[in-house]
Structure 1
Amino acid sequence: RDQCFVLLSPLRFHICHFSLDLMLCPTSSMQQEVSAALAQTDPNLVLCSAFKLRLTQRDLATLQEGSWLNDEVINFYMNLVMSRSEQEVGGRKVYSFSTFLFPKLHIGGHAAVRRWTKAVDLFLYDIILVPLHLGVHWSLAVVDFKSKSVQSYDSMVIMCYINMYNNVCCMYCVEIPQQKNGSDCGVFVCKYADYISRGRNLTFRQNHMPYFRKAMIWEILNQKLLQ
């Protein structure tokens, strides 16, 4: 049985980002909505509720520059990606696991997550997204049934993580955008998922992260993705 693992490495070439930059222009009303949400003084105030998830001001505040995204924000965003795929005719069928899957699987094995996989027929989907919380770092695993591969999208490739893949029989590298700081890994994971779910090239870079953070707040508040 053929197996293939795709390890995606740092972006080393220049990309054309003109069309992307044209889209990075939030309207004044969007900016006001984002600012109003962040200005709420009660950190426990629920600002958005959907997908059986409730996001508070404290959760959305993790999308401010320099902050690490928490599980709640990433899980909500992955649900937005899934919701969009359900509404798009002819698009990729996407399913995403919760960020809590990998820690449970790592500690308790398959038995610990059996109910998570039993509740859904994964073979009805084109790609499966698995956000991975690796201690103090976020990355994304993608199961692509069409290419019959498991792909790792990591915005900060660290050699110690490579040891996780020693038993993979086939590995090759593809270059992807990389973060330039220690706090944007969660945003990169969300945007990897956003772009991959629509079959788009990863044409964003580190300098787009401030915009993406604000846009994600607006998307979560309005429960829809901009692109």
Structure 2
Amino acid sequence: MGALTDSRKRLTADHRLPIPSFPPPSPPPPSKRPKLAPFPSSLDPSTSASPPPNPSPQIIHAVAAASTSNTPGPSSSSTPASSPLPNRRRLPPPPPFKRPIHGPQRVLRAFRFDGPARPHAAGPSWSSPSSPPPRSLGLEQYVELVNSVSHSAPPTPNAIPDAAREKEAVPLEVVAIEEDGDERKQQDDEEEVVRGSVVVRRVPLYKELYEAASRKRDAKLKTLEFEVRLAEEGRLGLERLAEVLPRISPKKEEVPEPFVPLTDEDEEIVREALHGRNSRERLAVHEPSNIVITREILQCLNNQEWLNDEVINLYLDLLKERELRQPSKFLRCHFFNTFFYKKLISGGYDYKAVRRWTTKRKLGYSLIECDKIFVPIHKEVHWCLAVINIKNKKFQYLDSLGSMDMKVLRILARYFVDEVKDKNGQQIDALSWKQEGVKNLPLQENGWDCGMFMLKYIDFYSRNMDLIFGQKHMQYFRKRTAKEILNLRAE
């Protein structure tokens, strides 16, 4: 049973081997006789003619030598020849086609065996409809296919354009990807181009990995990346803050012009002017009014001091000059000095005493053309203000102590009727205008700021502003008035 099994295995192996085409060798020696004798191949022309029945030993040795030198393969026991022993069992006929030695049978889609035939492949197309079904590749065909994919022969130089030459000069790395059709993904990358199932990488993978590792180890690059990220987060934070800040922060109110704070330089100049040692030093000279301001005169602007006539009259002249500089910003006003009312009532009521104070040649305009006329009123130790409001046709009285003097308003109404009749030849009924004291008037809270209150009444009314100041602003107004007198310019 063991001998029979062994014979069957050897019989199967003999069927798989190709049948060489040369004369049969000489029979083995009697001591090692073969168990089986194959039939001669009916397809091999070299073995179709039967050998001589009694070959000579020289012919047998020559044929054996030729077979061993030309055909590498199995042992001589499988060579086709007519068996000299008629009693031996005959083998079945060999397969109709020779089965060559082949390589691995795994189909790689990277080489696209199911596509059209390559131009360098010899023989019939593997995927042509008229061609027979593809056979398994042999070792030589497999090697040839691998070499053709990895190292393709370059075309002739004349047929390659310049752009193609530059493109082919870039080293490429072919990476075979074996994947299913459902799992294919289109990759749009600058360094990788997907062509079917073959990825052509213009930069070798090891270089990419090396550069990535270098970037991770570079401390300076990490610092720059951190700074960039920090700057980007800061920019986004500022943008969000700019959107939220107007809602959570109150709007910054602009400081009105009468309350603009003094600079440090102005503070130092005013302090030196008010507290210097030489009291007779001339600090300002106003040539149009011929008023000279010395340190002694200016010191009335110190805290807890009464204002004198020189400081008040010079400041009123500066207000008139301010109006002439910017007529569109301020009302058209006339500012009488501190001596006008005293001169008007010197003899009870004397219009002729002040008739020449308001000539058009001297002023350049008539009083009836003004919007408001300001008349300082001095009562022994107290300053008040009377206003001829031509724009609103009324006479107003302003006292920082809250008192009212109707006599002053009646006298001014009579004066204005005489003034218009004398200068303009018109008869107006000013006596019928309203005479009133101003309500909600800012009042002084001490015994020395009456003159400062009077000047600020005039200043705010000439700006056409409401009286929005109070006792707390008096110290600032004293310094500001001193600064404007030293500069000979009201702001």
Q: Normalization by structure 2: what TM-score?
A: 0.40
Distance (Å, rounded) in 1 between the aligned partners of 2:258 and 2:323: 24
Kindly tell me: are residues 184 and 81 of structure 1, through their superposed partners in 2, closer, same or farther at Cα, counting changes over 3 Å?
A: same
Contact kept? 1:20, 1:203, Cα under 8 Å: no
Q: Letter of the 2:462 partner, please give it.
A: S
Equivalent in the alignment of 2:294 = 56
Q: Deviations over 1:187-207 (max 9, x none)?
A: 011111110001011000001
Question: Relative to 1, partners in 2 of residues 1:194 and 1:22: Cα closer, same or farther, differing over 3 Å?
Answer: closer
Q: What SS does the aligned partner of 1:47 have? A: strand
Q: Is residue 2:336 matched to residue 1:100?
A: no
SS in 1 for 2:278: coil
TM-aligned CA distance change 1:75 to 1:165, over 3 Å? closer
- Distance in 2 (CA, whole Å) between partners of 1:194 and 1:23 is 12
Gaps of 5+ in 2: 1-252, 412-430
- Return the letter of the residue paired with 2:356: R
More strand by share: 1
How many residue pairs are counted as aligned between the two chains?
209
> Which is further off, 163-172 or 118-127?
163-172
1:19 CA drift (Å): 4.4
- Is contact 2:335–2:373 with CA below 8 Å preserved after alignment? yes
Cα contact 1:24–1:211 (8 A) shared by 2? no
Larger RCO (CA under 8 A, 6+ residues apart): 1
Q: Is the 8 A contact 2:338 2:375 kept in 1?
A: yes
CA contact (8 A) 2:306 2:448 kept: yes
Whether the 8 Å contact between 1:77 and 1:220 is mirrored in structure 2 is yes
**Cα shift readout 1:133-165 (whole Å, capped 9, x = no counterpart):** 111110111112111122112111236x45655
Residue 353 of structure 2 corresponds to: 112
* Match of residue 87, structure 1, among 316, 322, 325: 325
Answering whether residue 281 of structure 2 is matched by residue 40 of structure 1, we say no
Taking the aligned partners of 2:409 and 2:354, their CA distance within structure 1 comes to 21
1:199 to 464, 469, 491: 464
1:72 aligned onto 2:313: no
AA partner of residue 378 (structure 2): H
| Unmatched runs of 5 consecutive residues or more in structure 1 | 1-16
2:401 matches 1:156:
yes
Q: Percent identity?
A: 36
- Any idea what the Cα deviations from partners look like across 1:41-100, whole Å, max 9, x if unmatched? 232222111132111111110000100000000001111111111111423112111101
Tell me if 1:186 matches 2:431: no
Secondary structure in structure 1 of the residue aligned to 2:301: coil
TM-score by length of 1: 0.83
